[in-house]
Structure 1
Amino acid sequence: MNLARMLKARADAGRPVRVGLIGAGKFGSMFLSQIRTTPGLHLLGIADLSATRARQALERTGWDADAAIAASFDEARRTERTMLTEDAQALIAADGLDVVVEATGSPAAGARHALLAIEHGKHIVMVTVEADVLVGPLLAERARKAGVVYSMAYGDQPALVCDMVDWARTCGFNVVCAGKGTKYLPSFHRSTPDTIWDLYGLTAEQAAQGGMNAQMFNSFADGTKSSIEMAAIANAADLKAPSDGLLFPPCGVDDLATILRPRGDGGVLEHSGTVETVSSLERDGRPVFRDLRWGVYVVFEAEPGPSGDYARRCFKEYGVVTDSSGRYTALYRPYHMIGLELGVSVAAAALRGEPTGVTEHFNADVVAVAKRPLKAGEMLDGEGGFTVWGKLLPAGTSLARGGLPIGLAHHARLHRDIAEGEIVGWADVAMVEDDTVRLRREMERRFSGTAQAAAE
């Protein structure tokens, strides 16, 4: 990719790419551990609601905090040290800052910080996928008009999958399906922050030592995060969402091309060109052989018919694993390293003016679904909580049904009883018309045409 060479040149010239990190949680901490050892990158500042937590994140990831922390942004820029602040707006506005990394995990904060970064002419790497799924097409459009990069975060699954999809299309292959693996059983949709660590095989103490947030990690288990990430991929790579949510088929790496092909050819897909998440567990709880729990994949095909015979013959000659027809095959990556890989996005934005995945469509959406019977007057607690989980739907379907986006299902009070498994609608909650809601409504109006086209 030549990014390391380009970063070294910046380091040698004394002009490092200056980065501001908003959010010193798990993802942010993983990035901190690597920016320290990457020539050509300078961490100008960290903004977190707690400056103490930001300092602890530095110490936890190998920094000498006493030596690293600057007293001001000006000092940080002159000495290549790092300013800690609880004011994200001040960090975004800091002179010399090139790239903002938004890693708060809050869709409202993520959207707000992205708009501020665009206003100040700073590139934005959006770690908070929830914000991207909620209003990403609009944020990306505004960034393009302002001449800055709005990018997915390399190391997280959506950007890695978009990279694989781009590879397949650049090679002239048709993308059949793309996605990731996870640990899933249908019962996990009812998981709560009180039960999550049992599913991960951890104690609460071990989770605390690792800086893991119970509600955030619960969203990984209950299906919400998979839905959000698949929506992000569909919207960035112009793929479709399944008509009624993810199937989570049990599937190992050797069977990707057999299971993730259209139903007419013996697979489980409604149609070609879709997203899906595969499970590392059989439905009876047994582990899948050679599972892809931590990885990502793309299923692609040689051109159908006689014109694709040569490519299919090449598959066979070079030992490519295919389905029985020899037409479908898959490329996979067994791991993703999350924030440890984020420097790729930062460098690509600053040095090439390119995103590592960017939302350009509104093909897919994620709506709130009741985890249990809910009563009128109850307060929804959002992604990974006790009340709702997020279900992937085509954006056109979500709009037609008036589904409440999972990114807005936090601190929203119900007007009526909701049955377990029922989609919560905008009309079912008392929604405050704040900036995030207005931005979402604007996005729906601007991109409803593409949503309808994708659903057809």
Structure 2
Amino acid sequence: MAIQQPSSTQTRVALTGARGGYGRTLLAQLRNVADMTPTVLVDPDGAGVESMLADLGISDATVVPDLAGIDWSAIDVLVEATGRVAAGVAYAEAAIAHGVHVVMVSKEVETVAGVTLAATAAAAGVRYLPGDGDQPANLIRLVTWIERVGLDIVALGKSGEYDLVFDPTAGTVTQVDETIPAPGMADLLALGDDLHATLAARADLVAPLKRRAAADHCEMTVVAQYTGYTADREDLHYPVVRTAELADVYAARADGGIIDRPGSLDVFSMLRLPDEASFGGGVFVVVRTGDPETWRLLAGKGHVVSRDGRYACVFWPYHLMGVETPLTIAAAASGTATIPAPRQSSVLAGRTAEPLTAGAAFQVAGHHHEVAGIDPVLLSDDDAPAGTAPFYLLGGARLVRDVPAGHLLTFDDLTGIDEIGQRMFEEARAAGSRAAL
């Protein structure tokens, strides 16, 4: 196998899932990056891709419907963005076999097969990296430099995709295009003396809104694989929080915060007023301050520090999708990435939200890639029993027996599981168990 080498002037990029929103943002940005060019675009909606290319003014990329149409000799780096496990694994494996570096945007693939694909790539002498622009890679990058400077991490995570915007005049909270009455929220804009009571009251007011998403658990699982951190609770806390409160809320429980396990992954719902800036689905890390004088100085410069001065929050209030991904493409081509290799430290699994009967079929569907009737849960590898089925292998599977509500699904409960994905997942878990010995 020959490793593909970039030309002297340009890195040649292939993109799967080209018709999706992520693909559009990346292709639009590549027009402005002189040393990169899209050469192969893969999507079953060829007409849609061609229309998008015409709109973007891109004329020299080859559009193919599937794996069979790819000319690997014309590619240096593959950006995998299908969001589908079986397809994503197939594209990544083929790229590695042809000496092509892989930038993995499909977080669903990462939670099932990322550890094994990364090991396969390393053995083949090619690079495998999570794509900048989505929250997992951004948070991994933030954590890497925070650890490098020696700060003590207490919690880390991201905001949910959609803000909760409180209008004091109307007394309502809006999430995207859904508005609900929120009487009393004006009295809850400050944490007050009882942080836990305030958080509980806020959560009650916004209970009619759907704030939890499988995609959030998926993204935190990817971060877990690359950092070794895991969740404080399997369903995540999801507190309703304003940016300036993050260091107080994500403090250790002994100091009045919500964190029981140091180094916990979590997701919060951003609460803001209409004229306040969004967190932008960005990422954060809460650290212990250590030297009080340093953080008094930084607090004076506007940094977020807890009221007792023991904790601080470092955050990037954005994720720009494909606009940022050229950074990862460049790192893949040049070998300059500094993030660690992933390892199996957490499992994204599924618990039944209701009793289900034998024969029930599962599909991954919707914008957030949910599975009807199944709640995503993020478990440490130690807490996930042998045989636990990963959430994103449920698509296309069926139950072979009746199961009660709250049941953690295992491979023994299911038929129709993608065999390649199962093999890769079980290989990663076995390798992680050996490494722990």
The amino acid across from 1:444 in the alignment is: R
Task: Quote the residue 1:126 is aligned against.
Answer: 104
Task: Quote the residue 1:190 is aligned against.
Answer: none
C-alpha change, 1:281 and 1:427, in structure 2 (3 Å) is farther
1:368 Cα offset (Å): 1.6
Q: 1:441 aligns with which of 426, 431, 436?
A: 426
The amino acid across from 1:419 in the alignment is: P
Q: TM-score, normalised by structure 1?
A: 0.77
Task: Quote the residue 1:341 is aligned against.
Answer: 324
Is residue 121–residue 127 contact of structure 2 (8 Å, CA) maintained in 1?
yes
Task: Quote the residue 2:379 is aligned against.
Answer: 393
Q: 2:54 aligns with which of 55, 59, 69?
A: 59
More helix by share: 1
Q: 2:263 aligns with which of 258, 270, 273?
A: 273
Structure 1 distance, partners of 2:413, 2:12, is 45
Secondary structure, in 3 states, of the residue corresponding to 1:367?
A: strand
Q: 2:237 aligns with which of 247, 251, 267?
A: 247
- CA RMSD, Structure 1 to Structure 2 (Å): 2.8
Secondary structure, in 3 states, of the residue corresponding to 1:396?
A: coil
1:426 aligns with 2:416: no
Q: Structure 1 runs of 4+ off > 4 angstroms?
A: 286-291, 316-319, 356-359
Q: 1:416 aligns with which of 395, 401, 418?
A: 401
Unaligned runs of 5+ in 1: 1-9, 69-80, 186-197, 203-219
Q: TM-score, normalised by structure 2?
A: 0.80
More strand by share: 2
Structure 1 distance, partners of 2:415, 2:132, is 36
Task: Quote the residue 1:233 is aligned against.
Answer: 223
Is residue 242–residue 393 contact of structure 1 (8 Å, CA) maintained in 2?
no
Structure 2 distance, partners of 1:147, 1:18, is 18
1:301 aligns with 2:288: yes
Structure 1 distance, partners of 2:143, 2:215, is 20
Is residue 362–residue 398 contact of structure 2 (8 Å, CA) maintained in 1?
yes
Is residue 103–residue 131 contact of structure 2 (8 Å, CA) maintained in 1?
yes
C-alpha change, 1:110 and 1:327, in structure 2 (3 Å) is same
1:20 Cα offset (Å): 0.6
Structure 2 distance, partners of 1:257, 1:278, is 12
Task: Quote the residue 2:9 is aligned against.
Answer: 15
1:50 aligns with 2:57: no
1:56 Cα offset (Å): 2.6
Query: Is the deviation greater in 44-53 or in 316-325?
Result: 316-325
Secondary structure, in 3 states, of the residue corresponding to 2:139?
A: helix
Structure 2 distance, partners of 1:232, 1:315, is 31
Q: 1:159 aligns with which of 121, 128, 137?
A: 137
C-alpha change, 1:288 and 1:395, in structure 2 (3 Å) is farther
Structure 2 distance, partners of 1:277, 1:343, is 26
Task: Quote the residue 1:78 is aligned against.
Answer: none
The amino acid across from 1:238 in the alignment is: G
Secondary structure, in 3 states, of the residue corresponding to 1:398?
A: coil
1:141 Cα offset (Å): 1.5
1:233 Cα offset (Å): 0.8
C-alpha change, 1:291 and 1:255, in structure 2 (3 Å) is farther
Q: 2:120 aligns with which of 119, 128, 142?
A: 142
Secondary structure, in 3 states, of the residue corresponding to 1:140?
A: helix
1:287 Cα offset (Å): 9.4
Is residue 253–residue 291 contact of structure 1 (8 Å, CA) maintained in 2?
no
Identity of aligned residues (%): 28
1:326 aligns with 2:305: no
1:54 Cα offset (Å): 2.0
1:317 Cα offset (Å): 5.5
Unaligned runs of 5+ in 2: 1-5, 164-173, 179-209
Secondary structure, in 3 states, of the residue corresponding to 2:73?
A: coil
C-alpha change, 1:416 and 1:289, in structure 2 (3 Å) is farther
The amino acid across from 1:391 in the alignment is: V
Task: Quote the residue 2:190 is aligned against.
Answer: none
Is residue 353–residue 375 contact of structure 2 (8 Å, CA) maintained in 1?
yes
Is residue 345–residue 356 contact of structure 1 (8 Å, CA) maintained in 2?
no
Is residue 371–residue 395 contact of structure 2 (8 Å, CA) maintained in 1?
no
1:380 Cα offset (Å): 1.0
